[in-house]
Structures are given as structure tokens and as C-alpha cells.
Amino acid sequence: MAKPLIICRNLDIIYNKGKSNEFRALSNASTDIYEGEYIILFGASGSGKSTLMYAIQGSLPPGGGTMRIGGEDIYALRIEDRVYFQRYVMGIIFQQFNLIPSLTVLDNVALPMIFANVDKPTRERRAQSLLDRFGVGMVSHKITPMLSGGQQQRVSVSRSMVNDPKILLADEPTGNLDSVSTQQVMDKIDEINTFDKRTIIMVSHNAAHLSYAHRVYYLKDGAIVREVVNPQRKQIKPVKEGETIVTELEQLARLFPYDSVDTLRVKSLVNLLTQDYTYDQLVRMESIISHFIAGKVDKVAVMKALIMPYERGGVGLPEKDARRMVHTSAKIIGNADDIRRFRKQQNNDHAFFGQHKLAERLKDHLLHAHRLKLSKKQDQNLTELIADRVVGVSGEDELNAGMMKGVTAGGLALSEKEADDLTRYFEKIIALGVDVSYKS
């Protein structure tokens, strides 16, 4: 089995050690990162994301623990050898671009090759071809302050790739960009991962970026508190059973490997709405619901088909059941569409805001559907639990456990049965919203 490219073990990073302002920015951090992975270090401002990234880059000697890259303990290397690592094994992109304003774009990109003793024609040819590739070839003769932020960041992407590094590090590379430029830069970085097969380690606090990554390390107060696998990408790191966040839709996908995602959505929804109907009724219901999900028929038509006697081509449900079914599926489909849109949206500067609004809406729907009355604090906790689940930082079990936890611990203090019902229902919505087609 392949070994991880980057092995970080029990790393402590302490700033100003021994001084009165000594500060422990990272405690006991361990990561295994495999070649070709796209990793996001995610967390609030000040949680230690950049610290971990610069520790990987070799510029923050640890107070404890080890950092191995390609088998080498990089902090045990002689300084020249560590510089070699930084120059040829790693490329880096900063939020502030860090371009030299007095040099042309071409010279900025060619610069790292001077230290590598590459001759001038080769340097310029290679720099130009990278600039062309990242869509800024036409401004190569300009000085960098003349460029827009998005262009400057694509120049830094070109520069980071100039010595053909194995690993690309990026510290909030879109933090200073508008949404269009953000999308362009994210697409280029994605391409470096999927096409050039480079390992990417990106610092971000934008939830809308998480869907690019294979895995996300979630940091809080200087510690890695969670590792989350993105079910939408085919994993490189061997995943232990039960580690992935598995939605019902994915489970169904394994059961019915030849069905399309839409068919699976239908099965999942029908499965929720029906307990005791005959197989033939179910088949007809699936067909009606699939038209409904696809937006081909409206509520009235679904209602009619559900009520119509079986002999006449309908499902033959009592009117009360049919009404409940139409009402519930319309709600679920609406919410699932929201989640899908949210997870697709990859260039939204207001992702947290959007995430919160979506979570609020889903929470209201849940409360309504289950006729639950919650205190203000429970209500807030539920919104948080849902927000985490929707972006994929928590799994079904954690959502369920959260609902049973005490209110002061961030939970809802529900009984096991209540929590199970609510979780089951919510997972349906999630299942319908997640696209399981692997990007590969």
C-alpha cells in the first residue's frame, strides 16, 4: 500500500518560545497526506491553519513532534537541503500574491528559476507558457500593479508552478478576490490537482470550497478536531470502513450500481414516504415521483395519479395519504434542491451567510414537519448542527448524537427515539441533495 507523502506527527508549534508572549498555535497535530490529494485546512480565523501550512512548508521548526515529507524529517535536514525542499518540492501561493511590483509579470514568474541556474531563454519560454496556460499570457510585459487582483493571483499560480513542484501550498488564495476571479483561481488550482496530479494543501475558511477537496482537516483553537472525507471525490487515502460520511443515497448507489442518481433519489424519497404498500403500488409511485422530482408534473397531477384506482393506472391511495405524500415530497424536494445548489456554489463570498440561511430554512422545515417546540437555545443549536451536516463537516451519527446531547453542550436534549426520527428524516433531505457521481 502507498505510503503518505506528508506525515506529520504530534506537532506542536509555539511562537515566541520562552518569552512572556509565548503562544502555542498548534498542539499535537497529526496528518497523513497522500500524493495527489487535495487537502483543505479549514477553520475560523486564528485557529492555526496557516501555522500548520507553514510547518509543512518547512519554515516553522516544531516545539515537539515530527514532519516528514517523502520520508525525510525536514526539520532534521541541513538548512541548504531544506531550502531545496522549499524550492523544488513545494510551490506556494499567498493571499496577498507577494509579487515584486518593480518587475514585469514575466520576470516575476521567471525569478525562481534564476536560483535554479536555468538559462535565460529557457526561463522566459517556460514562464510565458505557464502564463499562457493560466490565462495571463497577454499581460506578461506589464508590471504587476497594473493587473487586477484576479490576474495577479493567476501570475502567482504560474510562479508557484515554475519549478514543477510536487506539492502546491495555498494560503487563502482567493481571500482578496471577487467572485469571478475566485472561480477562475479555484478552477486552475483544481486543474493542477486533477490534471497535473499535484498534491494541494489549501488553507480556507470558505465552506463553499470544501467540495473541491478529497479531505478536510478541521482546526479549532490550534488543534485538528476533525478529519472529513468528501464523499463526492474518489479517495486516494485508504478510507477505513465507516469513516466516510455515507448518505443514504450513497448506500443506495452501492445497492443499485446501475441506477442513475435521479433514480436513486426517487427510491430514497419513496422509501421514506411509504411503509406498507404493495410492490406494484411502489413501482407506480416511483414513476410518478420521478416525474415530480424532474419537474415534469405538478402537485395536482401527482395527487390525481396517487388517488386514481389501481385498475385505472393509478396507485390507489386513500386521499388523506396522498395529500400527506404530495405535501411532504414537495417540501423535501424543495429543500434538497437548496442543498444541491448550495454545494454546487463554489464562488460565493458569503458562503457562511448562505449556509446559515439554508440551515435556518431547513430547521424551520424540520420543526414544522415534526411539530417540535424548542427553546431559543435548542433552536440555535439545531441550526448549528444542521449547518455542519449540510456542508459535510459532520456525519449522520454526529448529527444524531448532537440531538441527544445536553442543551448547554450544543445539543437538543431529545430522547433517542425523537433524535432517530429527526435524523432519519433529515438524512433523506441530504440524500436527495448530494450528487454521488464521483469526479474521478
Binding site for ligand ADP (CB under 6 A): 15-16, 23, 25, 43, 45-51, 203
Nearer to ligand ADP, 57 or 381 (CB): 57
Query: Residue 294: exposed, middle, or buried by beta-carbon count in 10 A (0-12, 13-18, 19+)?
Result: exposed
How far is residue 59's CA from residue 87's CA, in Å, rounded to a whole number? 12
- Beta strand 215-220 pairing with 199-204: unpaired
**Interacting partner of 310 out of Mg ion, ligand ADP, none (Cβ under 5 to 8 A depending on kind):** none
Nearer to ligand ADP, 34 or 218 (CB): 218
Residue 58 contacts residue 82 (beta carbons within 8 Å): yes
- Shortest separation between residue 397's beta carbon and Mg ion, angstroms: 31
The four Cα atoms 54, 57, 61, 65 give a dihedral, to 10 degrees, of 100
C-alpha cell at 163: 519549478
Quickly tell me which residue has 441533495 as its cell: 433
Nearer to ligand ADP, 215 or 265 (CB): 215
Nearer to ligand ADP, 142 or 220 (CB): 220
- Shortest separation between residue 410's beta carbon and ligand ADP, angstroms: 21
- Shortest separation between residue 125's beta carbon and ligand ADP, angstroms: 36
Is residue 348 part of the contact set for Mg ion (CB under 5 A)?
no
Is residue 140 part of the contact set for Mg ion (CB under 5 A)?
no
Give the C-alpha distances (Å, rounded to integers) separating 199 from 91, 194, 396: 10, 9, 29
Site track for Mg ion across 34-73, x = CB under 5 A: ----------------x-----------------------
Residue 424 contacts residue 399 (beta carbons within 8 Å): no
Nearer to Mg ion, 25 or 305 (CB): 25
Task: Please list the residues that pair with 14 across neighbouring strands.
Answer: 24
Among candidate residues 366, 378, 381, 375, the one with its CA nearest the CA of residue 421:
366
**Interacting partner of 46 out of ligand ADP, Mg ion, none (Cβ under 5 to 8 A depending on kind):** ligand ADP
- Shortest separation between residue 152's beta carbon and ligand ADP, angstroms: 21
Nearer to Mg ion, 50 or 153 (CB): 50
Quickly tell me which residue has 477537496 as its cell: 213
Interface contacts to Mg ion, rule CB under 5 A: 50
